[in-house]
Amino acid sequence: MNDWQNELAESHRQQMVDDIRQIRLEKIAMQSRVYRPRLFARTMFNFANWMISTGKQLRRRYELPSVKCNNTESFAH
């Protein structure tokens, strides 16, 4: 009876060691995985860059000419 318990305990211990080893391998694999953005992340990144470039174009079009204007006359009657 004692030998059977020892064998059962040993097999259970070996199963736990194997599980721990598998968890460690999965953790290493997850750390070394290359980041690949999905469709939503790529779309949002491109949208943000588009908004930034559009904002720069709008600033160049509307803000800079008004700063360089020295004429203070109003065209309203």
Count of domains forming the chain? 1
Give the pLDDT band of residue 3 (cuts 50, 70, 90). confident
Rounded distance between C-alpha atoms, residue 58 and residue 34, angstroms: 37
Structural domain boundaries enclosing 25: 1-30
Give the pLDDT band of residue 2 (cuts 50, 70, 90). confident
Residue 7 within a domain:
yes
**Tokens for 55?**
């904002």
pLDDT of residue 25: 92
Rounded to the nearest angstrom, the gap between the alpha carbon of residue 43 and the centroid of all alpha carbons in its chain is: 13
Residue 12 within a domain:
yes
Give the H or E element holding residue 2: helix 2-31
pLDDT of residue 24: 94
Rounded distance between C-alpha atoms, residue 51 and residue 44, angstroms: 10
Residue 14 within a domain:
yes
| More reliable by pLDDT, 51 or 3 | 51
Residue 10 within a domain:
yes
Residue 63 within a domain:
no
Residue 2 within a domain:
yes
Residue 61 within a domain:
no
18-36 pLDDT, tens digit each = 999 999 999 888 887 777 7
